[in-house]
Structure 1
Amino acid sequence: EGIEASEQRLIDQIMIDLDATPNKSELGANAILGVSLAVARAAAESADLPLFRYIGGPSAHVLPVPMMN
């Protein structure tokens, strides 16, 4: 039993709660971001959508700007 990749906000919140530090020093911000992006890619693949369309919705016409930390 697990959590569906489409539950992005829930998965992100679980990681934030697990870390519980203001600067994400326990799990690490890069690790949290990497897992979050992997979940988004998995959900997009499952929905048979390109990642930018999955993130931006049906009216997305441009690729999102990469997130850096």
Structure 2
Amino acid sequence: MSAPGKASLLQTVKAVAWSFVGIRKRSGFEDDLAKISPLHVIAVGLVAVLLIVVGLVILVNWVVAK
């Protein structure tokens, strides 16, 4: 487990994924606020959005090509 005040990359990814879904317990949210750096959340969020957009473009191209 990571040291107090520091979150791992996996914890940051989980927090961003939960925020995309919109479901999160208050205690989990408060833990995230205490551990995760806003810069890390922004970076992981941008990568996640990029992956979603690229995935959608690939899916649409695949469906249209059929």
TM-score (norm 1): 0.39
Bigger radius of gyration among the two: 2
Which gives a bigger RCO, structure 1 or 2 (Cα 8 Å, sep 6+)?
2
TM-score (ref. length: structure 2): 0.40
Greater fraction of residues in helix: 2
